[in-house]
Structure 1
Amino acid sequence: MLLAWAAPALAQNQLERVNQARQERALSGTRIFLGLNGLNLGLSSALYFSTEPDWQPVYGLNMAWAATNLVLGSMAYYSLRRQATQLDPWGSIKEHYQLEKAYLFNTALDLSYITVGVAIAARAASQAAYQAQIQRGYGASFMLQGGLLLVYDLVMYLRIHGQADDLGRVLDEFLSDTTRAGLPLEALAHRYE
């Protein structure tokens, strides 16, 4: 009798631990993101003023990217810190897949940054020398920003996705076989989007 009462509480505790681990992974990734962008802002600022004029468009746009990323990253960090970790099973599934989808959506944006950078750099060939250098610089900055964000978003997606097995194991204990019916975790999540 005591075991029947304790099992749901134990499963809820395990679910909270999985939710806390997901939140901490996202928070630690966001702290790294903020640190790298702070470093980028400082380094790009220093290089902008101490380099050849040909490179100033690259560093100028990098400063704008870094400042924008610092604002967006700070908002994400604040939102993640306020996120609840005491979720029911369906809330846990929904939260997990929303975070995965956000990183996958960001990878698509990152690829578009790279594509825009290539297009801007290619357009430089048809411009006058000064304008061509500016466009090559902007193109390089877009490609660099997109490439670095692509790596970041893919790593974060893989870190969060790697937790799906942990969540699935806890949900197996939490839910009855008739509720889950042997469906993969992805099939359950799509029911609650």
Structure 2
Amino acid sequence: MASFRSWLVTAGSLLLGTAATAQRADPPPTLRDFSEQRIRHQKTLGYALGGYALANIAVGAIAAGQTQGETKAFHQMNVYWNLVNLGIAGAAAFSQRKQSGEGETLAQAVRQHENMKQVLLVNVGLDVAYIMGGLYLRQRGLTNELNGLANKAARQQGYGTSIMVQGGFLFAFDLVNYLIFKRRGDRQEEQLIQATSSGVGLILPIR
């Protein structure tokens, strides 16, 4: 009789587990909020980068036509650089236009969150490389200036300064957003994982 009762409880637990899994097909509100918050943040990143790029393109295009030498080269590079930024922001906005947190599993949401943090960290490293590249270009310009190559020197120094400025902005932009993702998202991620690990149990005493 004890064996039969144990078998009955085991079978009942399996049926309850199957039913609970079916009921969890739709993500709970906390998981949906976690996913949608990430998506909103990603869209905000794209809009902010796009707005910054448009402003730089407009100012740079006007200023490049009214200046000469190193200053002209600086504004020209601002335009070139931010045409790329605008393309990246536009591509991101296009890919995210129909993105939704509805239906994401916890594993998918966690993976997307961690991927976003990794992308931002990689970008931070690239931003440092941009700054160093701009500094190197400025140094080359100074060398050419000493060698009497004034036009080439002015172009290199203007381009170098622009790349340093743009790299510095992107460094701050990516680092701040990484910290926001980490501070806010990691806490929510941990709470969701702990809740899932703990689960909802049903205890039936067997006597």
Q: TM-score range by the shorter chain?
A: 0.7 to 0.9
1:167 aligns with 2:189: yes
Q: Provide runs of 4+ in structure 1 moved above 6 Å.
A: none
Q: Could you tell me which amino acid in structure 1 is paired with residue 64 of structure 2?
A: Y
Larger radius of gyration: 2
Contact 2:34-2:188 within 8 A present in 1 as well: yes
CA distance in 2, matches of 1:19, 1:93: 9
User: RMSD of aligned C-alpha atoms?
Assistant: 2.2
Superposition deviation, residue 114 in structure 1: 0.5
Aligned sequence identity (%): 24
Unaligned runs of 5+ in 2: 1-15, 200-207
Report matched runs for 1:173-188 at 5 Å. 173-176=195-198
User: What's the TM-score, normalizing by structure 2?
Assistant: 0.77
CA distance in 2, matches of 1:54, 1:110: 23
Task: Report what 1:123 is aligned to.
Answer: 140
Task: Report what 1:109 is aligned to.
Answer: 126
CA distance in 2, matches of 1:171, 1:80: 26
Equivalent position to 2:111, from 75, 88, 94: 94
CA distance in 1, matches of 2:52, 2:29: 34
Superposition deviation, residue 160 in structure 1: 1.4
Q: Could you tell me which amino acid in structure 1 is paired with residue 82 of structure 2?
A: A
Contact 1:124-1:132 within 8 A present in 2 as well: yes
Report matched runs for 1:1-193 at 5 Å. 8=24, 12-85=28-101, 86-127=103-144, 128-162=149-183, 163-176=185-198
Structure with more helix by fraction: 1
CA distance in 1, matches of 2:96, 2:38: 10
Contact 1:124-1:136 within 8 A present in 2 as well: yes
